[in-house]
Amino acid sequence: MDKVMSNKKMIALYVLPSLLLILAVVYIPIVLTGYYGLNEWNGIGSMKFVGLDNYQRLLKDSVFWDSAKHSLLLAVFSLISLIVYLAIAMVLAAKLRGANLFRKIYLIPMLLSSVAIAQLWLKIYHPTSGIMNTLLESLGVDNPPAWLAEPSLVLFALFIPILWQYAGFYILIYYAALKNIPTSLEEAAKIDGATSIQIAYKIKLPLVMEVLKVTVVLAVVGSLKYFDLIYVMTNGGPNGASEVMASYMYRTAFKSYDFGYGSAIGFALLIICLVATWVIRKLTETKDTIQYS
């Protein structure tokens, strides 16, 4: 077994094409971003090497730290919502009548592009004619807030569509993982008199553990570099109340023409993601993994 499975030629054949592609298309930009970050550059003229100046500026830049805080907050909310997605996936994967149809319907919103989702939620949050406020007014709420204009509310108002946008993605992965569990296991447990809660907790959860760990990393990294809806719906405003790291990076590089500093922000974002991933890996490390058998 070992001899076949450590055939160097096969490993190279399987891994190298993808690895080379990644190195060329992703790593060269990563290295260059790191390099630009050490320069003062407006993206047009010549670069001026300034060493770690941009990073020193970053450490003192309250806008950056606020945006980092917002991104981290989004990561926390994404993690919490993973539990909800898992629960939904469990229900959908159960032998319910119509589960198949429900699953398809539940995943439809994830097909929509960010442009469409942003427009939909702008209509929901519109301060005077939006669905949300019309509803609140009909319930007797006097002068409901302008969701996207209120610095204290805007971030949470944005989290809802973001989490909703990604719900399909995670439900889909969990669903596939749950469906991958051989039905024989569940049936055997039922014969032994296990309740469905026990089955979910004792059998299904451990078996999808590896998938769960992966989605935790995906949710955190995805949240930390999140950009789309925030940029379209509030542009990071008002007054930076909904600025996240990626939108701040974009604004600095492409609007303020400060490509050097923008690159430093981009690189810092990468490092924060890296640290977060490392922490998650450490926290979720287990000695052996459980397989279906």
Partner 1 sequence: MFKKWTVLLLTLCLVLVAAGCGSKNENEENNGGAAEAGAKVTVNFMHLWPEGVSAGQNKIVNQIINEYQKEHTNVTIKQEVLDNEQYKNKLKVLSASNQLPDVGVTWAAGFLQPYVDGKLFAPVDDLLGGELKDKFVAGTTEAYNIGGSTYALPLEFNIAPVYYNKAIFEKYNLKAPTTYAEFQNVVKTLVDNGVAPIALGNKDRWTGSLWYMYLAERFAGQETVAKAIKGEESFKNADLTKAATEVQKLVDDKAFVKGFNGLSNEEAKSEFLNGNAAMYLMGTWELPNFTTNEDIPKEFRDSVGFFKFPAVDGGKGNANSWVGGPGVGLFVSENSKVKDEAKKFVEYFVSKWGEQSVTGAGVIPATKVDTSKLQLPQLYIDLFNEMNQASSITLFADVQMKANAAETHLNMIQALFGKAATPEKFADEHDAAIKKGS
Partner 2 sequence: MSVGQMDAGAMSPKAAFAQKIGYAILYIVLIAVAVLQLFPLVWLLLFSLKNNQEVFNLPPFAIPTHPRWENYQKVWEAGNIDVYFLNSVWITVVSTLLTVVLASLVTYAITRMKWKLSSLVLGLFMVAMMIPVHSTLIPLFSMFNDVNLTDKPASLILTYVAFNMPITIMILLGFYYALPKEVEEAAVIDGCSVNRMFFRIVFPMTSSVIATTAIINMIYNWNEFIFVNTFISSDKFKTLTVGVQNFIGQYTTDWGAIGATLMISILPILITFLFLSDRIVEGIAAGSVKG
Question: Which residues of this protein are in contact with partner 1, per CB under 8 A?
Answer: 42-46, 122, 125-128, 146-151, 154, 234-235, 237-240, 251, 254-259
**Per CB under 8 A, 104 contacts partner 2:** yes
**Per CB under 8 A, 46 contacts partner 2:** no
Task: Pick what 152 binds: partner 1, partner 2, none; C-beta below 5 to 8 Å, kind-dependent.
Answer: none
Q: Which of 126, 118, 159 is nearest to 144 (CA)?
A: 126
In the complex, least distance from residue 171 CB atom to partner 1, rounded to whole angstroms: 29
Q: Which is nearer to partner 1, 42 or 180 (CB)?
A: 42
In the complex, least distance from residue 281 CB atom to partner 1, rounded to whole angstroms: 32
Residues 245-284 that bind partner 2 (CB under 8 A): 245-246, 249-250, 253-254, 259, 262-263, 266-267, 269-270, 273-274, 277
CA–CA separation, 150 vs 142, rounded Å?
A: 16
Residue 257 CA, chain-centre distance (Å), reads 28
Query: Which one among 53, 213, 232, 257 touches partner 2, defined by CB under 8 A?
Result: 213
Q: Which is nearer to partner 2, 152 or 283 (CB)?
A: 283
Strand partners, 184: none
Query: Which one among 26, 87, 141, 279 touches partner 2, defined by CB under 8 A?
Result: 26
Q: Which is nearer to partner 2, 25 or 51 (CB)?
A: 25
Q: Which is nearer to partner 2, 27 or 152 (CB)?
A: 27
Task: Pick what 110 binds: partner 2, partner 1, none; C-beta below 5 to 8 Å, kind-dependent.
Answer: partner 2
Tally of CB atoms within 10 A around 281: 12
Q: Which is nearer to partner 2, 36 or 147 (CB)?
A: 36
In the complex, least distance from residue 185 CB atom to partner 2, rounded to whole angstroms: 11
Q: Which is nearer to partner 2, 187 or 279 (CB)?
A: 187
Tell me the per-residue interface mask from 128 to 157 with partner 2, x by CB under 8 A, - otherwise: -x-x--x-----------------------
Residue 168, exposed/middle/buried by CB under 10 A (0-12, 13-18, 19+)? middle
**Per CB under 8 A, 78 contacts partner 2:** no
Three-class DSSP labels, the chain = CHHHHCCHHHHHHHHHHHHHHHHHHHHHHHHHHHHHCCEECCCCCCCEECCCHHHHHHHHCHHHHHHHHHHHHHHHHHHHHHHHHHHHHHHHHCCCCCHHHHHHHHHHHHHCCHHHHHHHHHHHHCCCCCHHHHHHHHCCCCCCCCCCCCCCCHHHHHHHHHHHHHHHHHHHHHHHHHHCCCHHHHHHHHHCCCCHHHHHHHHHHHHCHHHHHHHHHHHHHHHHCCCHHHHHHCCCCCCCCCCCHHHHHHHHHHHCCCHHHHHHHHHHHHHHHHHHHHHHHHHCCCCCCCCCC
Site size toward partner 2 (CB under 8 A) is 104
In the complex, least distance from residue 21 CB atom to partner 1, rounded to whole angstroms: 10
Task: Pick what 246 binds: partner 2, partner 1, none; C-beta below 5 to 8 Å, kind-dependent.
Answer: partner 2
Q: Which is nearer to partner 2, 158 or 273 (CB)?
A: 273
